[in-house]
Amino acid sequence: MQYKDYYQTLGVERDAAADAIKRAYRKLARKYHPDVSKEADAEEKFKEVSEAYEALRDPEKRAAYDQIGAEGASAEEGFRARPDGGFDIHGGGYTGADAGDFSDFFRSVFGERFAARQYGAGGGEPRGGLRGQDHIARVELDLEDAFTGGIRTVSLRAPQVDADGRVINRERSLKVTIPKGVRSGQQLRLVGQGMPGVGTGEAGDLYLEIAFKAHRIFRVKGSDLILDLPVAPWEAALGATVQTPTPAGPVDLRIPAGSNGGRRLRLKGRGMPGKRPGDLYAVLRITLPSVDDDAARELYAKMAERMAFNPRASLGV
C-alpha cells in the first residue's frame, strides 16, 4: 500500500501549527471544490485535500499518523475518521462528504477506534470519550537489572501533543517494576501512561520494549549468557579448576585436560532466571603470558625444543 504524505498534499511543513494546517486546507478546498472549480480533476483533488485535513486536524490522529512516517503503510492500532463525513470549508466543521470515500491508506492508519466515537449534530466534540493512543518506547537496561528485577527509574522520550496540535518529544522519568529474568525484546505494559484520552476517555497504555545495554563481560543470547573465559596454556593443557564469574557471583569451573581455545563449557542454570533458567557458556580463550624477562624466554625456548608441536599441521603446512 502506497504511503500518502498528507503534509505535502496540504503544502505545509511537518511541524506546522494547527492554524496553518486549517488555512492551507481552506485555500485548497476553495480551489478544488467541485461546485466552483473548473479543474479537470477537481473532485479527486478535493477528496485528497479533505482526507489530508481529516488526518491532521485532530491532534490524536495526527500523532498516530506521525508515528508511522514514510516507512510505514498501515497501523493496526490507529483510528478511523468520524462517521458523519467531511468538512465545511468556511466554518471548519463538516460538509456532507462521505468519509467512506477516503483511501485504503487512511482506513489502514486510523483503524477501528473512531468508528465507536459518537458526535453531536454539529460535528462538535464527542458526547462520550475516546481512549488515548497507546505508545511503545524502547528502554535499555543493565543486565544486572534484568537478572535481579526490582523497581527502577527509567528515563525516556515520549511523544506528546502541545497546545498547537504539534507532536513533540518530552523527557519523562517513570518508576518501573522490572520482572526478574525479563528478556530482551519483551514488552512491559504501563497502564494509563500513554496518550491522554479525549473527554471522558481513559488514557492509553505505554509499552516499554526492553533492550540490554552492552555488558562488559557477558553476551546475551535468548535466556543464555556467553562469557569469554581467559585460561593459561597450562590450565588448558593439564586441566584445572578456575573461578568463573556469573551474574549471581563467581563459581568454580573445572577445565578438562587437553582443552583447546574456543571450547564451550556449560554452566547449567547459570544464565537468565525464569521458569526455565538459561545456561551460561564459558568459551575458553587461551591467553599467553608475556615474555618480559630472561627466565620467561628460556621457558619458551625449552618448550619449542622439547615439544614436537606444529599448530599449523591441520593446514597441511
Residue 175 has pLDDT above 50, yes or no: yes
Domains with residue ranges and CATH for the chain: 6-116 (1.10.287.110), 135-212 (2.60.260.20), 218-315 (2.60.260.20)
C-alpha to C-alpha distance for 151 and 296, rounded to whole angstroms: 52
Rounded to 5 degrees, φ, ψ at 254 are -85, 125
Q: Tens digits of per-residue pLDDT, 195-221?
A: 777 667 788 888 888 889 999 999 999
Q: Out of 4-8, 89-93, 265-269, 300-304, pick the least confident.
A: 89-93
In this predicted structure, what is the pLDDT of residue 163?
67
In this predicted structure, what is the pLDDT of residue 99?
47
For the entire predicted model, the pTM comes to 0.54
Helix (H, G, I), strand (E, B) or coil at 191: coil
Q: Which residues contact 255 (CB under 8 A, 6 or more apart)?
A: 231, 235, 236, 239, 240, 241, 242, 265, 284
In this predicted structure, what is the pLDDT of residue 161?
63
Q: How many CB atoms lie under 10 A from the CB of residue 16? A: 19
As a whole number, mean pLDDT of residues 15-28 equals 89
Q: How many CB atoms lie under 10 A from the CB of residue 206? A: 23
Rounded to 5 degrees, φ, ψ at 108 are -70, -35
Higher per-residue confidence, 86 vs 263? 263
**Cβ burial, residue 81 (10 Å; 0-12/13-18/19+):** buried
C-alpha to C-alpha distance for 39 and 150, rounded to whole angstroms: 65
Q: Tens digits of per-residue pLDDT, 272-282?
A: 998 889 999 99
